[in-house]
Amino acid sequence: MSNIAAHCFLADPDYGSQICKSMGLDEAKAKELSRLSHVDLIAATKAGYVP
């Protein structure tokens, strides 16, 4: 779900923040993910990913 929140941050940071709060997601992590390229975002949110 953090990848969805990351896209919301890209569209509108306030909306991304609201999405994180309403879904109980880590806002700092979603902001971090929103700064990645599309390829890196997919890799970072793939099941089993360990940074």
pLDDT of 1-33, one tens digit each?
678 889 898 899 999 999 999 999 999 999 999
Residue 26 forms part of a structural domain: yes
Residue 51 forms part of a structural domain: no
Residue 34 forms part of a structural domain: yes
Write out the residue range of the structural domain in which residue 27 sits: 2-44
Query: Using CA atoms in the order 22, 28, 30, 33, what is the torsion angle rounded to 10 degrees?
Result: 180
Terminal-to-terminal C-alpha distance of the chain: 17
Q: Which residue in this structure is represented by tokens 């902001």?
A: 31
pLDDT at 31: 92
Residue 23 forms part of a structural domain: yes
pLDDT of residue 50 exceeding 80, the answer is no
Residue 37 forms part of a structural domain: yes
Residue 50 forms part of a structural domain: no
Residue 42 phi/psi, 5° resolution? Answer: -60, -45
The pTM of the full predicted model, rounded to 2 decimals, is 0.75
How many structural domains compose the chain? 1
Q: Which residue in this structure is represented by tokens 């979603």?
A: 30
Q: Please, what is the angle between helix 2-11 and helix 27-34, to 10°?
A: 70
Residue 27 forms part of a structural domain: yes
pLDDT at 2: 75
pLDDT at 21: 95
